[in-house]
Amino acid sequence: METAEIRRRFLSHFENAGHTVVPSAPLLFDDPNLLFVNAGMVPFKPYFLGQETPPFDRATSVQKCVRTLDIEEVGKTTRHGTFFQMNGNFSFGDYFKEGAITLAWELITKSVDDGGLGFDPEKIWVTVLHTDTEARELWKKVAGLPDERIQNRGLLDNYWHMGVEGPGGPCSEIYVDRGPEYGPDGGPEADEDRFLEIWNLVFMQEEIANVTAKDQFDVIQPLPKQNIDTGMGLERVAYLLQGKENLYEIDEVFPVIERAAELTGRTYGADHTDDVRFRVVADHVRSSLMLIGDGVTPGNESRGYVLRRLLRRAVRSMRLLGYEDPALPQLLPVSMERMKASYPELETDFARISQIAYAEEEAFRQTLGKGTQIFDVAAGETKQSGGSVLSGSQAFQLHDTYGFPIDLTLEMAQEQGLSVDQEGFRSLMAEQRARAKADAKSKKGLHADTTVYRETIDAFGPTDWVAYTNLITESKVLALLSGGQSVPVITEGQVGEVVLDRTGFYAESGGQNADAGVLRWDGGHAEVLDVQRPIRGLVVHQVRVLQGELTAGSDLSAEVDHEWRIGARQAHSGTHVVHAALREVLGPTALQSGSYNRPGYLRLDFGWGGALDPEQFHHVEQVSNRALREDLQVSQHWMTLPEAREFGALALFGETYGEEVRVIEIGGPWSRELCGGTHVERSSQIGTVVLTSDSSVGAGNRRIEALTGIEGFQYLARERDLVLQLSDVLKAKADDLPARVQDLVSRLKSTEKELEKFRTAQLQAGAGDVAKSAEDIDGVAFVGHRAEGVGGGDVRQLALDIRGRLADRPAVVVVIGTAGDKPSAVVALSPAAIERGLSAQQLIATVGERIGGRGGGKADVAQGGGTDLGGIDAAFAAVRDALRG
């Protein structure tokens, strides 16, 4: 049974049982504590936590999930995969234990012909919490399971909670006996390889607090409504029903392994090390496909870094399998063909997805070239010093700076006859992880406790938000908040949060900055600093009271800054216009992946493989301004999300949308996007669009910045003034400025070359006189010369010129320049001096000690720098002493 068919049967079973089928949320779900959705219940957390009222009593979904904590274990076990799908059914105060057990048992044991999964009831085992006698009795009643196939387990295994204060409850896990060839008998307690868990039923029934560990917490009270949350691993069920050994061999994954085997000439199943690499390739290619499909782009931080690591591990594994050509163009289409049955949008969007992935592989291939050069230098230095172990710090630098995985460094070191200080590498990695965890913890700490907001919305209901129609509202203060607590008053000079019954202020979202403005009441006023939606349905204004006192329950006038809103509308509509222009000029794959706008300014990130050439850049600007000149109608439509997709509306990747969405059109289908921002009524009201930059924000992703409205005109005015000033200074017409400036630059370069020749001639002329001043020290001609105002390459050239004039005998030349008030030194030795056992490397160290610095080089020439000009004479003296020694 194919994976897509298992998925279909699961959803159909619960839909027929009265559940609302909820589409999978994007992997980039709006949860500040998660990089990606990592469990099927994540989109339903607000309902379980009581933050929002669910729109249904029963729901079912197949949720896309990504977990990367055990990424190093991928391919080594049957269980670890980075992308997986979680089948779930959920009850919000509707059915409870008996209903959940009955529905689960029916689906897994019902025959395939009758729409079930067809598992043998005699091979089903379950576990329950050791104190949950109710669940045990229900399994016996509903399924007829004997006592010996219902095992008791403790809190660590069979109790679920979120790790924080909130809902929790016992759970019951369903296992399938795979047979004696997989391990000993005795149920899940004896062996969880033979007895494989496929489904976990969570009975959410109580509120807990004081959580210190998985099995250490206090039960406060029963929940007012008992809930059900279940999770069935789709891939696990698939490999059991398909008769496979692990999740890498199911129909949605194995075709990538088959293609990789064709490309590499290796055989899957012949060698364990190769098998692990094949599995890493298949898993990571699929995960990358799904992540890019949901709007992630490769980068050096957060989600982008995870994607980059997955892609590079896949490419590196193909290299270790012996395939050094671009691999992703061969593998990604195979994964897409298998996944499109469940996620048809992957095929529709594959041009964009593949463009991003292939650009990242190309960037990594270039990185491999640079990193290999660095490795070769490090390996050479290790051998030259007589060592056989590459240091942990060098391995870490290759990993951290050049993206070299440690096993690639190990492989290359082995080829050179070296080993690697893995303990030192792991120590540095551990330090980096500790820093990352501390940083993540500090960032997570910025996510305020939402308790006070939940209490506010429970008490007063959602905010009447009228930002699309009203800039001024007569409003009542429902609550004042400070430090996560409700307060009765905010006094003059204080900053606090204000919840109004009605507001026209736009809360920051969808890349649009929050509105500015004021709150006015009898005897006082406050400036609005920020506007946010900490939980759905509630608008919160952060304010600073400038005069008087603001008290809870008072009436006031909430006034959005009119000029601010005009600029914000221009910038947001301008973002849509630039996005449409990009797609018109570059093609449909130039899709927006992120945006930010504030009055007069916009930036837009979009998928594209390289910099825009000047013609493309200007064409995008021209198309944008043509749309303004055509005075296109800007209209809005409300519809369901499926209707919007059918309508052809583009959705911003990573955004979360409700059941009803708002579609903004500019010029009909020319620009048609899902958007909750504020907009102009006609395109001409944007005023102007002035593109100011095109830059890279990671492989396969670009950023356009632009100015709109009065800010755009001001920018052009400054450019005009600059041109006028240059024209006046250079006595040239504006059109002639480029040629005039180019002429001046050419003449300047020519003059600099002449000066360089003159300076070189002076140095060479002086070199002869300096060489004549050489003093004899035990048969070695020594020159110690202080070159006033000379630095950099000139010091080296002078030292080499002097040495050349003394090449017929043992000679040591030390030249120390003083340019920039910092000494720069070069030590040059003749071949005869080297034959006498002298070394420029050793002598530069002697010089460096005296001038407050250090240096390095080879036996014949070494150079360095320092900080102490006063030590130059001491440096010369020290070299003399060394030569006498």
Which residue bears the tokens 């399971």?
145
Q: Can you read off the two tokens belonging to residue 629?
A: 């000149």
Kindly list the distances between the CA atom of residue 79 and the CA atoms of 194, 573, 830, 885, in Å, as whole numbers in the listed order. 13, 47, 66, 69
Burial 410-433 (b: 16+ CB within 10 A, else e): bebbeebebebbeebbeebbeeee
What residues form DSSP beta bridges with 527? 518, 544
Could you tell me which residues come within 8 angstroms of residue 304 by beta carbon, excluding any fewer than 6 positions away? Answer: 296, 297, 298, 698
Could you tell me which residues come within 8 angstroms of residue 352 by beta carbon, excluding any fewer than 6 positions away? Answer: 292, 589, 591, 607
Element at 124 (helix H, strand E)? strand 124-129
Residues counted in the chain: 885
Would you give the distance in Å from CA 430 to the centre of its chain?
Answer: 20
For the chain, the distance separating the N- and C-terminal CA atoms, rounded to the nearest angstrom, is 86
User: Exposed (0-12), middle (13-18) or buried (19+): which is 238, by Cβ within 10 Å?
Assistant: buried
Would you give the distance in Å from CA 405 to the centre of its chain?
Answer: 18
Known binding residue 65? Answer is no
Known binding residue 679? Answer is yes
Decide if 390 contacts 730 (C-beta within 8 A): no
3-state secondary structure at position 503: strand
Could you tell me which residues come within 8 angstroms of residue 856 by beta carbon, excluding any fewer than 6 positions away? Answer: 841, 844, 862, 863, 864
Which residue bears the tokens 């110690």?
784
Would you give the distance in Å from CA 878 to the centre of its chain?
Answer: 54
Decide if 704 contacts 596 (C-beta within 8 A): no
Dihedral sign, CA of 682, 684, 687, 693? positive
In 731-839, which residue ranges form alpha helices assigned H by DSSP?
737-772, 793-804, 831-835
Known binding residue 576? Answer is yes
Known binding residue 637? Answer is no
Which residue bears the tokens 């007589």?
386
Decide if 711 contacts 600 (C-beta within 8 A): yes
Could you tell me which residues come within 8 angstroms of residue 626 by beta carbon, excluding any fewer than 6 positions away? Answer: none
Q: Can you read off the two tokens belonging to residue 150?
A: 């219902």
SS3 letters across 28-73? CCCCCCCCCCCCCCHHHHHHHCCCCCCCCCEEEEEEEEECCCCHHH
Would you give the distance in Å from CA 45 to the centre of its chain?
Answer: 23
Query: What angle do helix axes 392-402 and 422-445 make, rounded to 10 degrees?
Result: 50
Decide if 671 contacts 312 (C-beta within 8 A): no
Rounded to an integer, what distance in angstroms lies between the CA atom of residue 595 and that of residue 785?
A: 60
Query: What angle do helix axes 234-241 and 3-16 make, rounded to 10 degrees?
Result: 120
Q: Can you read off the two tokens belonging to residue 706?
A: 């632009």
Dump the DSSP string for 610-667. Answer: SPPPHHHHHHHHHHHHHHHHTT-BEEEEEEEHHHHHHHT-B--TT----SEEEEEEET
Q: Can you read off the two tokens belonging to residue 169?
A: 């409850």
Q: What angle do CA 221, 225, 229 make, to 5 degrees?
A: 100
The annotated binding site for Zn(2+) is made up of 572, 576, 675, 679
The annotated binding site is made up of 572, 576, 675, 679
